[in-house]
């Protein structure tokens, strides 16, 4: 059996835990409403006003004028995430992290030692609550797809089990938009076909679905039948580092997309420096609202972990994406061709500007880890000053979302 563990409003919940006076108030972690920042996370009080992650902060402010806006503390969230993962690993070595706040666990081989999958899920929830004062929602199911859906059905503090012999009874009543890959465009096609639920979709043949959705037709047919053959894959020695964001609503504002591009770049470079790594190749991934996915990469002249250098490469790749209506459901930044910083080839003549940027990054990491993101802002981090025409960036730091 597979578990999908998803921390509830993770960034906001950590802030509420650390600052109890925030409890009961709408809390938004992310950018400031004065600029073009984005919502990284919103607690459940703020969500009652319609606020959600990836929303422009200025829109969140209009929906919830009395919300408390907090700058993200990514280093701190990463430390908390590591403690959560240590809880997972006490029950199974088969842990596949998806982000700081969610992971898949294969507990099939652990049931003889720790009891049935349901008990393991309950124990994990209780241990996270008792040791870290945080709340997790868990889905228990025969595969990843079903576990992921189950974990989201009864948030917050949910625990949903999908019986292997009741898969269709579980799936059929759910709206078709629950299927991975069903966005606004595909959703409209299903609407035109009179398909509203997964059960209705399941009545269509593979051929009919392929006629309307091409290669994605088989994908939708398999998911509607509860088929997902992917295994839980634990992290091995890092060959790449990446962060990606699936937006709650498709985004077409280029400046807002650039804001997220910078956010994701900062997450990647922060992880590089934390693990004392440098990267030579920068990768960009975009998924359009019709589920068409495009990836691009650029190899640098030398390995780096300098935010400014990787940001410029990512921005260049973004500018070179196919010319079509820019309406994205997913954006991702990654790096590969990793080397330990100590093993990176030394150069005879030191680039003074590069050294200065590198030192600034390291000092900034230390300060923000100790005092939080609000304590220091990079000149290249103010997202609401990003120039969508030139791709240059000016000063703020709004955050990678959940």
HEC states along the chain? CEEEEEECCHHHHHHHHHCHHHCCCCEEEECCCCCCCEEEEECHHHHCCCCCCCCEHHHHHHHCCCCEEECCCHHHHHHHHHHHHHHHHCCCCCEEEEECCEEEEECHHHHHHHCCHHHHHHHHHHHHHHHHCCCEEEEEECCHHHHHHHHHHCCCCCEEECCHHHHHHHHCCCEHHHCCCCCHHHHHHHHHCCCCEHHHHCCCCHHHHHHHHCCHHHHHHHHHCCCCCCCCCCCCCCCEEEEEEEEEEEECCHHHHHHHHHHHHHHHHHHHHHCCEEEEEEEEEEEECCCCEEEEEEEEEEEECCHHHHHHHHHHHHHCCCCCCCCEEEEEEEEEEEEEHHHCCCCCCCCHHHHHHHHHHHHHHHHHHHHCHHHCCCCCCEHHHCCCCCCCCECCCCCCCC
- Which one of the listed residues 15, 16, 102, 244 is annotated catalytic? 102
Is 102 an active-site residue? yes
Sorted by sequence, the CB contacts under 8 Å of residue 284 that are 6+ apart come out as 295, 296, 297, 314, 317, 318, 321, 332, 333, 334
Catalytic residues: 102
């Amino acid at each position: 059996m597979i578990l999908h563990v998803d921390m509830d409003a993770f960034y906001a919940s950590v802030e509420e835990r650390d600052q109890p006076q925030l409890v009961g108030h709408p809390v938004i972690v992310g950018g400031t409403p004065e600029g073009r920042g984005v919502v990284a996370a919103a607690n459940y009080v703020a969500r009652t006003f319609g606020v959600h992650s990836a929303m422009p902060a200025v829109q969140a402010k209009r929906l919830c004028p009395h919300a408390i806006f907090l700058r993200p503390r990514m280093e701190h969230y990463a430390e908390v995430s590591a403690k959560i993962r240590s809880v997972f690993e006490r029950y199974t070595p088969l842990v596949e992290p998806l982000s700081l706040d969610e992971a898949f666990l294969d507990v099939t081989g652990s049931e003889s030692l720790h009891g049935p999958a349901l008990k393991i899920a309950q124990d994990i929830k209780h241990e996270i609550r008792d040791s870290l004062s945080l709340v997790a929602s868990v889905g228990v199911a025969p595969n990843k797809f079903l576990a992921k859906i189950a974990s989201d059905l009864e948030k917050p503090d949910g625990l949903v089990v999908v019986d292997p012999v009741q898969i269709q009874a579980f799936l059929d009543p759910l709206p078709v938009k629950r299927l991975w890959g069903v966005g606004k465009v595909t959703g409209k096609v299903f609407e035109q076909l009179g398909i509203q639920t997964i059960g209705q979709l399941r009545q269509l043949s593979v051929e009919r679905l392929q006629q309307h959705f091409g290669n994605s037709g088989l994908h939708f047919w398999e998911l509607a039948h509860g088929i997902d053959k992917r295994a839980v894959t634990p992290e091995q020695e890092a060959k790449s580092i990446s962060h990606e964001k699936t937006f709650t609503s498709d985004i077409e504002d280029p400046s807002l997309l650039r804001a997220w591009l910078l956010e994701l770049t900062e997450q990647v470079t922060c992880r590089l420096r934390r693990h004392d790594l440098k990267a030579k190749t920068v990768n960009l991934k975009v998924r359009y609202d019709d589920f068409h996915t495009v990836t691009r990469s650029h190899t640098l002249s030398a390995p780096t972990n300098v935010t400014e250098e990787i940001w410029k490469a990512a921005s260049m790749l973004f500018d070179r994406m196919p010319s079509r209506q820019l309406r994205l459901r997913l954006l991702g930044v990654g790096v590969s061709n990793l080397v330990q910083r100590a093993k990176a080839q030394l150069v005879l003549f030191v680039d003074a500007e590069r050294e200065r940027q590198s030192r600034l990054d390291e000092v900034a990491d230390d300060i923000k880890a100790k005092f939080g993101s609000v304590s220091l802002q990079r000149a290249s981090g103010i997202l609401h000053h990003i120039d969508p025409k030139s791709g240059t960036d000016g000063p703020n730091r709004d955050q990678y979302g959940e």
